[in-house]
């Protein structure tokens, strides 16, 4: 469920016509719904009701300060993968003590930044990273809280670019080497072991891969306890999918209930661990739409094109992943014929498309909206072809807030410098 619905044939964002927002703020335009965003957060919080759990939003999905601010006010934590994301979380009012630092290439500067901020935990992805964290913590005379991200070699059954839990992927420590790394960490004076983490992929539409991973890691946890290493949490990562087309992913409570059911026997033996989940897409994707204008229609004899003012620099997901995202008209246009269109943009790449073979009734000047655009769209945008980045708007009932201004041409070269004339 989201709050982008038609009223008398016209698309609304909560209680504001999308056409009105496009006229006021221009296109292409990202529009987010506050009510939808908070509803999705609440679904995860309710799934943990009466349980020892922590929701950590995956900042990479959408790192806009206003989005992070709204989430911080809900009392949840954050999963980050860079020092920049940590700085954003703190700037937005997030609690660094609820921050988990993931990612395979943490620099010394980022580790120091996180230690000084007092984050909850590092998710360690390699033996060398453990050594680096220990060395930085020793230099600062601090103790670094860590968990290990374990690669359980479980197939997430998702797109290969966003599958992260197989041996062929760059993420995590192989489960076969995990016990030795935990034992090594236990001997380090500047390391405190907190838990165990896995994240097997993104856009998961089944619970079974999560359960398969938990089964693998239960055996490891028993080994850890048998060797005297105790944990305080188990982090099952994020990756819960959303509906872009016909997908029917499980709800947050279905995932959390299934995880607790699988963990029941383990918790009886070692005690209840805090369960951590790191949703990103499932919180913010369907809280956003991407609106753009049809500049031209073009018939190349074998193909109909709707040429829009949004390019792969604005939303790269269709080009990068061949991702299907639902494209709808903002207003009905009964005077136009229904045709099968490729919706393409202005960027000089054949791969610049927003959708292919879409049955639409449209004409030049019409507005289209792409559903499910709250995650991994504006966050991955660029200035390719020297195109200014889009504005982003947050709708709250009948109010619209500019949460990111549209870039100007001058913004494109703000950090660049001409050579001196003498050069």
Distances from the Cα of 223 to the Cαs of 153, 210, 232, in angstroms? 18, 20, 15
Cα–Cα distance for residue pair 132/127, rounded to 1 Å: 9
Q: Which of 56, 121, 348, 377 is catalytic?
A: 348
pLDDT value of residue 157: 56
Residue 280 known to bind ligand:
yes
Cα–Cα distance for residue pair 179/279, rounded to 1 Å: 27
Place of tokens 């980050």: 80
Give per-residue pLDDT as tens, 312-349. Answer: 999 999 999 899 999 999 998 999 999 999 999 999 99
Tens-digit pLDDT string for the chain (423 aa): 689 999 999 999 999 999 999 999 999 999 999 999 999 999 999 999 999 999 999 999 999 999 999 999 999 999 999 999 999 999 999 999 999 999 999 999 999 999 999 999 999 999 999 999 999 999 999 999 999 999 887 754 544 544 444 455 567 899 999 999 999 999 999 999 999 999 988 888 899 989 999 999 999 999 999 999 999 999 999 999 999 988 889 999 999 999 999 999 999 999 999 999 999 999 999 999 999 999 999 998 889 999 999 999 999 999 998 999 999 999 989 999 999 999 999 999 999 999 999 999 999 999 999 999 999 999 999 999 999 999 999 999 999 999 999 999 999 999 999 998 876
Model pTM?
0.94
pLDDT value of residue 166: 45
Residue 149 known to bind ligand:
no
Residue 189 known to bind ligand:
no
Cα–Cα distance for residue pair 380/383, rounded to 1 Å: 10
Residue 365 known to bind ligand:
no
Cα–Cα distance for residue pair 235/238, rounded to 1 Å: 9
Instruction: Copy the structure tokens of residue 275.
Output: 């369960």
Residue 85 known to bind ligand:
no
What element of type H or E holds 226? helix 208-226
Which candidate, 77, 74, 105, places its Cα nearest to that of 90? 77
* 103-277 and 4-32+285-411 share a CATH fold: no
Check: CB of residue 340 under 8 Å from CB of residue 302: no
Q: Which CATH architecture has domain 103-277?
A: Alpha-Beta Barrel (3.20)
Per-domain boundaries in the chain:
4-32+285-411, 103-277
pLDDT value of residue 411: 98
Cα–Cα distance for residue pair 166/155, rounded to 1 Å: 6
Residue 112 known to bind ligand:
no
Residue 278 known to bind ligand:
yes
pLDDT value of residue 153: 75
CATH class of 4-32+285-411: mainly beta
Q: Tell me if residue 348 is catalytic.
A: yes
């Amino acid at each position: 469920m989201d709050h982008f619905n038609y009223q008398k044939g016209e698309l609304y964002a909560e209680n504001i016509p999308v056409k009105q927002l496009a006229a006021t703020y221009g296109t292409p335009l990202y529009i987010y719904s506050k009510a939808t965003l908070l509803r999705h957060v609440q679904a995860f919080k309710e799934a943990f009701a009466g349980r020892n759990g922590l929701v950590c939003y995956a900042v990479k999905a959408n790192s806009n300060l206003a989005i992070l601010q709204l989430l911080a006010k809900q009392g949840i934590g954050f999963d980050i993968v860079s020092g920049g994301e940590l700085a954003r979380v703190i700037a937005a009012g997030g609690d660094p003590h609820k921050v988990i630092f993931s990612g395979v290439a943490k620099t010394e500067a980022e580790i120091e930044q996180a230690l000084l901020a007092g984050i909850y935990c590092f998710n360690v992805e390699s033996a060398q990273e453990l050594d680096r964290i220990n060395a930085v913590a020793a230099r600062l005379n601090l103790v670094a809280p860590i968990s290990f991200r374990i690669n359980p070699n479980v197939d997430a059954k998702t797109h290969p670019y966003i599958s992260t839990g197989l041996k062929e992927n760059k993420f995590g420590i192989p489960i076969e080497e995990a016990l030795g790394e935990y034992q090594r960490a236990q001997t380090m004076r500047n390391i405190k072991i907190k838990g165990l983490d896995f994240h097997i992929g993104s856009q998961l539409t089944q619970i079974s891969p999560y359960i398969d991973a938990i089964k693998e890691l239960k055996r490891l946890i028993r080994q850890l306890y048998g060797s005297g290493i105790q944990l305080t949490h188990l982090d099952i990562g994020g990756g819960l999918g959303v509906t872009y087309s016909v997908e029917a992913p499980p709800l947050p409570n279905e995932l959390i209930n299934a995880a607790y059911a699988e963990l029941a026997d383990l918790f009886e033996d070692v005690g209840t661990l805090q369960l951590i989940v790191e949703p990103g897409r499932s919180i913010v994707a369907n809280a956003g739409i991407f609106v753009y204008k049809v500049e031209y229609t073009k018939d190349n004899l074998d193909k109909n094109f709707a040429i829009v003012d949004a390019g792969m620099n604005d939303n790269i997901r269709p080009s990068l992943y061949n991702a299907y995202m639902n494209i709808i008209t903002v207003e009905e246009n009964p005077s136009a014929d229904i045709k099968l269109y490729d919706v393409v943009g202005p960027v000089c790449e054949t791969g610049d498309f927003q959708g292919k073979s879409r049955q639409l009734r449209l004409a030049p000047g019409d507005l289209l909206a792409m559903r499910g655009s709250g995650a991994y769209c504006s966050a991955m945008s660029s200035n390719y072809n020297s195109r200014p980045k889009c504005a982003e708007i947050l709708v709250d009932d009948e109010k619209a807030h500019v949460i990111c201004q549209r870039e100007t041409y001058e913004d494109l070269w703000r950090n660049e410098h001409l050579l001196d004339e003498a050069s």
